[in-house]
A and B are shown apart, each in its own frame.
Chain A
Amino acid sequence: MPQTLYDKLWQSHVVRTEADGTALLYIDRHLVHEVTSPQAFEGLKLAGRKPWRISSIVATADHNTPTDHWERGIEDPVSRQQVETLDANIREVGALAYFPFKDARQGIVHVVGPENGATLPGMTVVCGDSHTSTHGAFACLAHGIGTSEVEHVMATQCLLQKKMKSMLVRVEGKVGAGVTAKDIVLAIIGKIGTAGGTGYAIEFGGSAIRALSMEGRMTVCNMAIEAGARVGFVAVDDTTIAYLKDRPFSPKGEVWDRAVAYWRTLVSDADAAFDAVIDLDASQIKPQVTWGTSPEMVVAIDGQVPAPEDFADPVKREGVERALQYMGLTPRTPIKHIRVDQVFIGSCTNSRIEDLREAASIAKGRQKASNVRRVLVVPGSGLVKKQAEAEGLDKVFVAAGFEWREPGCSMCLAMNADRLEPGERCASTSNRNFEGRQGNGGRTHLVSPAMAAAAAIAGHFADVRDIL
């Protein structure tokens, strides 16, 4: 019977299955960060259990770490304690690799894994973080898990999981200039809604997905969770294999050839059946901007803020009313008239080298608008930072009046000092626009890196296609 990529990934990891279909899935890679792991390490210790296979663990500190003045260390004592707890736990337990605070390869866990070749096709990848779906770009089965599951994986190298339904999101055609992976995934979420993928594993396919770089595919898979899907992935092709060649943890020599031969099989068979298929026409996708407090509240840059009466469903209508109030927006306002106070370019969605190049191409030779209080550019990792500096991107940003920071999660979730003030409005390349996400009372609009840079320059949302 023809199989989907999901069937193949699933089948190759089942250790055993319960009568009701609950399976014990073997886990190849366990990514660990400071926020969701302390209780798991403690649980393990209290039960007198040892980690099953420490060579599966790759750890880094990212959520709490500051993005400037590293010489001062972590000033917030509570954040410092959490990072030091991770240091101590890894020291005690061990890991394949640990990139602690200030390490040259430290960074956001979902940036660090792939760039070190620690994420390989056909793997099951877990992390106590919902954006673990990012690793699906490499044809991995990558689950975000809770802390109890972090402990479970540490102790048993397995995850209890029921097979999900399968969905194919097919984006065919060519996107126009200025339209990026971020716009594609926001358009997908706008179409299926934030619960549209609940209970599904999403495969992203079609010529527009194939045409994306690995960075772009990571952006798309990253936000599968915003469409409600715990996992999202893309099949292996030449782009995948070219990206992995010569990464630190990628296989070498004869083993590389064997691995590549296997990886080539990680595609859905031609006649494989999906439980749901969603089609999008890439040529119709415009640069996207979210206006509300859920990623599905999204429109094209040439659109307007909607009105509650546009929605028939009373629960939805009420949600829209509440979002408009929180966001301080009036129905029918053209998106381009919305002014921003801060701009954030970063996060595991958009902080890779390509994202920074994209933002720099817009910022080059231009100046941040005077009404924009701050523009933060936060590379996803130490390696991204180094590469960007080698290309002179940091100078482009600084010349435009942007701030060039140290790597980390930063204002994506504002657990460190980088945050919005109450009422401030932000063009952000991150993935969540929930109430308070970037700071208590802060208002987040999700956009691509190019659109974020364009908003920084214009002082309000602007169509990047007019600037190119």
Chain B
Amino acid sequence: MRAFTALDGLVAPLDRANVDTDAIIPKQFLKSIKRSGFGPNAFDEWRYLDHGEPGMDNSKRPLNPDFVLNQPRYQGAAILLTRDNFGCGSSREHAPWALEDYGFRALVGTSFADIFYNNSFKNGLLPIKLPAAEIDELFAQVAITPGYRLRIDLAAQTVTRPDGKMLSFDIDPFRKECLLNGWDDIGLTLRHADAIREFEAKRRIEQPWLFN
């Protein structure tokens, strides 16, 4: 996994609640058997005026000028500012893959759906939860400030605004450690292989019907 320590990035605002994973990456792109290449189809139905299908040359498709991420001022954004319950719906990990492939490294919002939140960490994408009042302020500042950037420091658990105000956020120590170091979950877990084997052996005796 790609490590995440600190980031100074341009912010793009997506001012909607309940952005679901179907919207982040529509299902026709889930037919891929690869992990990469989803970026050009992130938010496909909002981003383009035509209907997207796998295999199309996305650079030739008509962009929807009303979709916020298409505005010139947000090109190259690395931080997505979001609202409540971002990433709800389907468990597809293609959603964080698409966001990461698009160029986002962090998401800042009030709340994230459980599975999406989890999936993001596995892909070096940092979802940051802040109180609603702070999110409202960020949306207001981004709207009136071209080139609005935030500085994120994972070790210190802070987000710093251009005006110098520092916002702090909570994160599970274990997730933080993994992300800071870019640790591979599977490798970590396999260090406990003996404990797993022992647990399994006991279970096999107590509930043999689970092992047919």
Contact = CB atoms under 8 A, between A and B. Distances in A.
Contact of A39 (B33, B54, B118, B190): B33
Contacts of B119: 146-149
B115 A79 contact: no
A160 B185 contact: yes
A144 B115 contact: yes
B212 A55 contact: yes
Interface string A260-273: 00100000000000
A230 B114 contact: yes
Interface of A: 15-16, 18-22, 24, 26, 28, 35-36, 38-39, 42, 47, 49, 52-53, 55, 63-64, 76, 78-79, 81-82, 85, 96, 120, 122-123, 128-130, 132, 144-149, 151-152, 155-158, 160, 162, 164, 194-195, 198-199, 225, 228-230, 249-251, 255-256, 258-259, 262, 294, 315-316, 318-319, 322, 413-415, 432, 434-437, 440
B190 A156 contact: yes
A435 B91 CA distance: 17
A436 B20 CA distance: 11
Given A22-B172, A130-B91, A85 B114 contact: no
A415 B27 contact: yes
Contacts of B71: none
Given A156-B190, A315-B84, A82 B27 contact: no
Contacts of B22: 413, 432, 434-437
Contacts of B195: 15-16, 24
A414 to B, nearest CB: 7
Interface in B27-59: 27-28, 30-35, 45, 51, 54-55
B189 interface: yes
Which label, helix, strand, loop or mixed, suits the secondary structure of the A interface?
Answer: loop
A64 B30 CA distance: 10
B88 A24 contact: no
Interface stretch (B98-106, B147-155, B159-167, B199-207): B199-207
Contacts of A195: 18, 84-85, 88, 111, 113
B196 A18 contact: no
Contacts of A36: 91-93
B115 A436 contact: no
A52 B35 CA distance: 23
Contacts of B88: 194-195, 228
A247 to B, nearest CB: 12
B90 interface: yes
Nearest to A23: B174
Given A28-B210, A130-B91, A434-B22, A22 B174 contact: yes
Contacts of B92: 35-36, 146
B209 A130 contact: no
Contact of B23 (A16, A82, A147, A435): A435
15 contacts: A26-B199, A39-B33, A78-B31, A123-B210, A146-B92, A149-B119, A152-B185, A229-B114, A294-B20, A315-B17, A315-B84, A318-B15, A413-B27, A432-B89, A435-B23
